[in-house]
Amino acid sequence: MTVIAVVSAGLSQPSSTRLLADRLAEAAGRHLAGPAENTEIRVVELRGLAVDIANNLVTGFPSPALKEALETVERADGLIAVTPIFTASYSGLFKSFFDVLDNTALQGTPVLIAATGGTARHSLALEHALRPMFTYLRAVVVPTAVYAASEDWGATSGDGLASRVDRAAGELAALLSRTPPKRPAEEPLIPFEQQLAALRPFTTG
Amino acid sequence: MQFGIFTVGDVTTDPTNGTTPTEAERIKAMVTIALKAEEVGLDVFAMGEHHNPPFVPSSPTTMLGYVAAKTDRLILSTSTTLITTNDPVKIAEDYAMLQHLADGRVDLMMGRGNTGPVYPWFGQDIRNGIALAIENYALVHRLWREDVVDWEGNFRTPLQGFTSTPRPLDGVPPFVWHGSIRSPEIAEQAAYYGDGFFANNIFWPKEHFARLIELYRTRFAYYGHGTPDQAIVGLGGQVFMRKNSQDAVREFRPYFDKAPVYGNGPSLEDFTEQTPLTVGSPQQVIDRTLTFRESFGDYQRQLFLMDHAGLPLKTVLEQLDILGEEVVPVLRKEFAARRKPGVAEAPTHAARVAARDAALVAG
């Protein structure tokens, strides 16, 4: 069973960010080998967690609902992360969610990044903002990032949005098929003798 | 089981009237609160250590020495002593000195501190936090147990033929708790030495601490200090009480809403549900505190945070009256009635001297 978490930071209802997220998730499922029931898509909508995310920034711990969302992302084999572009970058809500996520949670996890915006002029925000953020988190970001401007929703197929969605989803699926499934995270226990011994080598004498 | 209070020592404006105590007023208030703790029958007064405003307690042994002179039974402790940025030699010396002056009524809780700039201010690097806690405590532990120490480490100048004075009272060092809110390495350290583990659970949900305490108990047994049930656990708590719970909520809410640590965040209702904070009647505090045992097992020390967020001294003293008169006597009885056989007693100097002597006789 391959689990893909989908994080959508769309704010309106209905949201084109969520629409893009759903299309990417559907395409990724299609590209993954084997029967469809072997892929599980778990969607995390950040809008309903906005206050909880802000509270976590203030108190340092997540509410039960936010904890569940963070664990969904942490345990997933792959991630599709979609944000609207606000003021030339990811939305603050999107960034804040990844700020409260443990900074090792996405280590080695294949991630597909995508964004929506009013015009295509902001598409490089994916490369300038999202990609470095996930690189910092040591995720493996697929080469194709998908940007959907308003006009893309009315474009003909061909080299339009549909083919970019398909290419990015194919890249994610290919990465996922080569990545071993995630095991439930366990806190590593370092025996105390080993902790003490680790201090010895860098003694300068 | 021991009950007491711990203070952060923050100077905070009272949000209900805009008044801010001076440092002098806050320091004297902390002393008044400590003396009140003894008066109302509490066992422990613990104080934090900070090196930045708005906190006043940079020099805990000075204050605890003064409190020691004015009290007879109260155990004086810390919450926490910065094992990362203090010189371990000075910790060993200062707390041994205090132990003599207080006739053994001293223990301490080691912590790493959470204010980034304190590390560079004291010549350290926060990225070495765990390593500093491990190496520095290893040295404190030796200085209190070996008369002459040769030592070399990564973080302070080496020692040749060093004797830390005064030697611990009766040859028995102060008991040490290791405080942590998230690091399994520290639970492991406490277990290795057979020291206490204090989980300051007041700002975090209990599931998180249940895992850390379970780890500590398992490893305590692994290192041969006793059964997991015999490990020595301390917990935090945070309460505000009035006879009627609605009055408690009404009076505490403005302080909660503006509190430096969690203010302007979740609602009082959410926070009380998700953390051990209890705002209500004395009976509610009793009921809630008894649930800690169900989550974490029998434990030895319960400390409450009572004086923060700008609460006036008069209110804090009233709270201590309620705590000492109505809450702690019931908790003592109820915890004792529920305690499993074989659980360790709370650590005291007298008991530790007796245990040492018994071990010597047994050879």
pLDDT tens digits, residue range B45-65? 999 999 999 999 999 999 999
Of A148, A57, A147, A49, nearest to A100 by C-alpha is A57
Cβ atoms of B174 and B168 closer than 8 Å: yes
pLDDT value at position A180?
83
Q: Domain span at residue B49? A: 2-362
Option in A59, A64, A196 nearest B262 (CB): A59
ipTM of this complex prediction, to 2 decimal places: 0.83
pLDDT value at position A184?
63
pLDDT value at position A33?
74
Q: Do A64 and B274 touch (CB under 8 A)?
A: yes
Q: B195 to chain A nearest CA, in Å?
A: 13
Total number of domains constituting chain B: 1
Residue A157 pLDDT > 80, yes or no? no
For chain B, which residues lie within 8 Å of any Cβ of chain A, measuring from their own Cβ?
130-131, 134-135, 138, 152-154, 184-185, 188-189, 191-192, 203-205, 208, 211, 215, 219, 223, 261-266, 270-271, 274-275
Three-state secondary-structure class, residue A39: strand
Q: Does A58 touch chain B (CB under 8 A)?
A: yes
HSE toward the beta carbon, residue A129, CA cutoff 13 A? 23
pLDDT digit string (tens) for B196-249? 999 988 777 788 889 999 999 999 999 999 999 999 999 999 999 999 999 999
pLDDT digit string (tens) for B148-186? 999 999 999 999 999 999 999 999 999 999 998 888 999
Q: Do B184 and A204 touch (CB under 8 A)?
A: no
Q: Do A189 and B191 touch (CB under 8 A)?
A: no
**What is the domain-level CATH number for residue B189?**
3.20.20.30
Residue B362 pLDDT > 90, yes or no? no
Domains of chain A: 2-199 (3.40.50.360)
Q: What span, in angstroms and rounded, lies between the C-alpha atoms of B255 and A29?
A: 51
Set of chain B residues whose Cβ sits within 8 Å of the Cβ of A60: 203-204
pLDDT digit string (tens) for B270-308? 999 988 999 999 999 999 999 999 999 999 999 999 999
Cβ atoms of B316 and B307 closer than 8 Å: yes
Set of chain B residues whose Cβ sits within 8 Å of the Cβ of A202: 154
Question: How far does CA A204 lie from the centroid of its chain?
Answer: 43
Q: What span, in angstroms and rounded, lies between the C-alpha atoms of B199 and B233?
A: 8
